[in-house]
Structure 1
Amino acid sequence: MPKSSPFTGQSTLLRRLLIGLGVLVVVALLAGLTARLAGGGHRTPSAANSPSIPSTSATSTASPHGPSPAPSVGATPGVSVVAAPPHTSDPIAYAKAFAAALWSYDTRTATQPQQLAGLRDWLTDETKYADPDALAAQLPDPTLWSRMRDNGQHAVGEAAEAHLPAAWQQAIGKDPTQLTVAYIYAVTVTGKQTVSWLDGGRGAEDRAITLAVQCRPGRDCALASIATTVYP
């Protein structure tokens, strides 16, 4: 799958968080978001209500949300060809589920616009944080997708492990209240993508991605953006 292109648009602050992901960048970004929301009359939650940060040791070797079965040829219009987002408030579980969905596709039964539409169902409905351009950059363009379809190419993704990058944890650990502005977690996921094509061809490669996952209290998690760099 292609790498993300440089971020543009209204989610610039979020993209700077993902691109830098160093302590100073994270702190500066979240402080800027706090000021922005405060200026708009929003109230920032108090430190007493700040959420606990999931431990990086709380990872699993099994994907909690594997890819859905490939739809049949001529699938019903309007029905997503991508696995549905899970109902979870755990950013790590959500990131693993999304990565498995992103790395899974079937050009034989889905068009590129259908695949993209299905993935967009994972985006947060808070437009100031949602980054559809970063998501679209993860897919081949329609022309390349058509060529892949001619070759019968399809893939299954597996998310083996996920964790919060150390730099992100250190930055938030110094001031947990900054997390309560947007409740966005950086999560790095590693796994494998197995690709198959006509005449029995088959291959596999390791995959890794860093995601920005929004998990507000009392709501299911949602995707905010995708980093151009994988963070350890």
Structure 2
Amino acid sequence: MRKLLPSPSRSPFGVNWSTSKRLAAVAVVACVLLATATVVAWVSGSRDDGRPSAGAAAAPTASSRSSPAPTPETTAKTGSVAKPPQIAEPVAYAKAAARMLWSYDTRDTSRDQQLAGMRTWMTRETKYTDWASVSGQVPDPLLWSRMADQDQHASAHVTEGHYPGAFKAALADDPSAITEAYIYVVTVNGKQQIAWKKGGSGAEERAVTLAVQCRPGHDCTLAAIAPSVTQ
């Protein structure tokens, strides 16, 4: 591997960060989301909107919202970044989102296109979105250009996704609290394969904990990358 190429054993984009440093970097911004959305949705017992509590914790299983097919203009703006799927089940959506986050191709996608594509996965409810935790995964412009010089690209295979124990415990303690924001926390595990010029390649196991919003009757969206990985 050439010296200018980021090590594939670090972040999903090959940035020279350890996992602990990356998680620490997003913890500050992610705590806002967790304080206003995830934690409230898990354990808050106060509800003044009159929404029913019976069966409220059940994850949505069907989608009633249709999305238009991507146009050439949209594709040009987002490069090779996968389009968000029409999925209304939290674990399935989180697995798709993790696959998107671990995949990129500097050969045909600019950094701006990568960010634009990732942004389409985000919830539009500003109260619950933490774009900084997601966009912070993308290398800075200089590093991205160096990756592009080496035709660096990555694909991902997701092995499983599950609700972390802390989330399940909090939800069991107050099942109806999820109706505040319908934020679900999912840990996803998988493997990333990175390749670059002259046959260079590398692979690494990946794990990420995502906060996804899945309101009934709507497709899921991505809210944040959680500040720590819980089992």
Structure-1-length-normalised TM-score: 0.77
* CA deviation map 1:171-206 (0-9, x unaligned): 110111111100000000000000000000111000
Indicate conservation of the 8 Å contact 1:85/1:121, yes or no: yes
Aligned mates of 1:176, 1:131 — CA distance in 2 = 24
Asked if residue 31 in structure 1 is aligned to residue 57 in structure 2, the reply is no
The 4+ residue runs of structure 1 with deviation greater than 4 A are 27-30
Who is 1:157 aligned against? 156
Who is 1:72 aligned against? none
State the secondary structure of the residue aligned to 1:78.
Answer: helix
Aligned mates of 1:116, 1:151 — CA distance in 2 = 20
How far the C-alpha of 1:45 sits from its partner, in A, is 1.8
State the secondary structure of the residue aligned to 2:76.
Answer: coil
* CA deviation map 1:84-117 (0-9, x unaligned): 1111111000000011111010111111111011
Partner AA of 1:116 in structure 2: L
Give the aligned CA root-mean-square deviation in angstroms.
2.6
Who is 1:67 aligned against? none
Aligned mates of 2:179, 2:42 — CA distance in 1 = 13
Aligned mates of 2:106, 2:190 — CA distance in 1 = 21
Aligned mates of 2:136, 2:201 — CA distance in 1 = 24
The count of aligned residue pairs is 198
Relative distance call for 1:211 and 1:44 in structure 2 (3 A) is farther
Give unmatched runs, 5+ long, in structure 2: 1-10, 16-21, 61-73
How far the C-alpha of 1:151 sits from its partner, in A, is 1.3
The percentage of aligned residue pairs carrying the same residue is 47
Alignment of 1:132-171 (within 5 A): 132-171=131-170
Give unmatched runs, 5+ long, in structure 1: 55-74
How far the C-alpha of 1:139 sits from its partner, in A, is 1.2
How far the C-alpha of 1:29 sits from its partner, in A, is 6.7
Asked if residue 105 in structure 1 is aligned to residue 104 in structure 2, the reply is yes
Relative distance call for 1:160 and 1:29 in structure 2 (3 A) is closer
Indicate conservation of the 8 Å contact 1:92/1:187, yes or no: yes
Who is 2:53 aligned against? 47
Aligned mates of 2:59, 2:214 — CA distance in 1 = 11
State the secondary structure of the residue aligned to 2:192.
Answer: strand
Partner AA of 1:184 in structure 2: I
Who is 2:82 aligned against? 83
Indicate conservation of the 8 Å contact 1:184/1:213, yes or no: yes
Structure-2-length-normalised TM-score: 0.77
* CA deviation map 1:13-69 (0-9, x unaligned): 423489xx9xxxx4697529x57xx5xxxx252212513259xxxxxxxxxxxxxxx
Aligned mates of 1:217, 1:169 — CA distance in 2 = 19
Relative distance call for 1:108 and 1:144 in structure 2 (3 A) is same
Who is 2:33 aligned against? 14
Asked if residue 210 in structure 1 is aligned to residue 230 in structure 2, the reply is no
Indicate conservation of the 8 Å contact 1:107/1:149, yes or no: yes
